[in-house]
Amino acid sequence: MGLKPLLNDILVRARADLRMGVPVVLTGRGGALLVMAAETAGELRYDTLMARGEVDLVLTGRRAETLKARAYDGDVARVMLPDNAGLAWVQALADPADDMRVPMKGPLQTRRGGNCELHRLAITLVKSARLLPAVLVQDLYDPLGLANDENLTVVPGDLASPHVMEMAALDNVVAARVPIRAARNTRLHIFRPEDGGEEHYAVEIGRPDRDAPVLARLHSACFTGDVLGSLKCDCGPQLNAALAAMGEQGAGVLLYLNQEGRGIGLANKMRAYALQDQGFDTVEANHRLGFEDDERDFRIGASILQKMGFSSVRLLTNNPGKIAMMERCGVGVAERVPLQVGKTPENERYLAVKAAKSGHMF
């Protein structure tokens, strides 16, 4: 009994299955669904699904708005697929890459009425798997029988729904000295979520006083900016400027949070970049993909700071959302320290949109 997977383990398995194109089964008081991620669906499994009966494509309200499909359920839309719907057409509904060349994909019929809590859970699962927020679903009348026959992961929706977006507890796995250009007296802490998710890092410079506000930065991972030196954003310069400021003061903590692309993952971030090349701004691109403006979870940063013994910060940020979340999570923000670096001709519009639509303070 002590070896069986717990709810978090089941959710990790479900995310992995969805990323590989394997369906999962969601059960709940409102029925049961067979769920497959539209992005990773293969022809064989798709054809098998369609042969079994009616299939819906569940999209977020954001994506439905772009497609001019009625989202009767508000945040999700259940698009009824025609019997002759091919996988390529379905995936074009999920992915906006070709919207400008082929804008008319309908008319699309959407369902109304009934319980759609499991549909919302399905969208949340694929989002947390860093996939496009679009799922193929089919009603099931013998969910456990099908799951047993096909060896599919079963997610108990009534138990999972309240927890799927909960922040997993973090374990401080290890810390070791790592001299860096900004400061030789630096330690790197590794924090691992108990749900098997991506690890997050804390760069501790010097020996900051736990009884005083620490100079801190919550920095979301940006492969293109931090590693490649992309000029489309200000992330790389912000990272380096924050570390330099901490080095000059002899103390500070930079949290490097693995929430690439405002929490949508690098692949979806590149999709957003491709849409920006078509003329959309960063917020519009996220919405066309089916995401919100910002999908990051800043509670992670507050939790790490508290685990390290800090209760108050001097926060290096231009983002009022970070300040608000720190305060809500019990980490006092004694001062906002502006971080205005990295403006280029290539990112001038991006920064203007962040100010106008996300309230960033430049």
pLDDT, tens digit (0-9, with 9 covering 90-100), for 67-100: 999 999 999 999 999 999 999 999 999 999 988 8
Catalytic, 294? Answer yes
- Whether 251 contacts 214, CB under 8 Å: yes
In what side-by-side order are the strands of the sheet with 76-80? 76-80, 56-60, 134-139, 31-37, 24-28, 154-156
Give me the phi and psi of 193, to 5 degrees please.
-65, 140
Active-site annotation holds for 296: yes
For residues 7 and 160, the answer to whether their CB atoms sit within 8 Å is yes
Q: In degrees rounded to 5, what are phi and psi of residue 315?
A: -90, 120
Report the pLDDT value the prediction gives residue 359, as an integer from 0 to 100: 80
**165 against 360, higher pLDDT:** 360
% the chain with pLDDT above 70: 100
Residue 42 has φ and ψ, to the nearest 5°, of -100, 165
Residue 46 Cα distances to 10, 23, 152, angstroms: 23, 10, 15
Q: From CA 275, how far away is CA 277, in angstroms rounded?
A: 5
Is residue 248 a contact partner of residue 278, using CB atoms and an 8 Å limit? no
Q: What is the DSSP letter of 114?
A: S
Q: Which runs of consecutive H residues, i.e. helices, occur in 143-265? A: 143-150, 157-160, 235-249, 260-263
- 2-9's contacts with Cβ under 8 Å and 24+ in sequence apart are 7/156, 7/159, 7/160, 7/163, 8/163, 8/168, 8/194, 8/195, 8/196, 9/196
CB within 8 A of 353, min separation 6: which ones? 281, 282, 283
From the number of C-beta atoms within 10 Å of its C-beta (0-12, 13-18, 19+), residue 278 rates as: middle
Tokens found for residue 188: 């790197």
User: 293 exposed, middle or buried (CB, 10 Å; 0-12, 13-18, 19+)?
Assistant: middle
Q: Angle 65-259-317 (CA atoms, 0-180°, nearest 5)?
A: 100
Quote the CA–CA distance of 300 and 220 in Å, as a whole number: 11
CA distance 118 to 157: 7
0.95 exceeded by pTM:
no
What integer pLDDT is reported at residue 6 of this predicted model?
A: 87
**Pairing assessment for the beta strands 332-337 and 312-316 based on DSSP bridges:** parallel
Residue 292, classified by CB atoms within 10 Å of its CB into exposed (0-12), middle (13-18) or buried (19+), is middle
Instruction: Give the separation between CA 146 and CA 143, rounded to whole angstroms.
Output: 5
Identify the pLDDT of residue 197: 85
Q: In whole angstroms, give the CA distance from residue 38 to residue 126.
A: 9
| Chain position carrying tokens 């992915």 | 95
The pLDDT assigned to 88 comes to: 95
Write 312-317 long-range contacts (CB < 8 A, 24+): 312/212, 312/213, 312/214, 313/213, 313/214, 313/215, 313/216, 314/213, 314/214, 314/215, 314/216, 315/216, 315/217, 315/218, 316/215, 316/216, 316/217, 316/242, 316/245, 317/217, 317/218
Which entry of 271, 288, 296, 314 is annotated as an active-site residue? Answer: 296
Predicted local confidence at residue 353, as pLDDT: 85
Query: Which position among 17, 95, 234, 294 bears the catalytic label?
Result: 294
Whether residue 1 has pLDDT greater than 70:
no
pLDDT computed for residue 227 by the predictor: 96
Helix then strand then coil, in percent of the chain rounded to 5, is: 40, 20, 40
Q: What is the pLDDT of residues 124-173, one digit of tens each?
A: 999 999 999 999 999 999 999 999 999 999 999 988 888 877 788 899 99
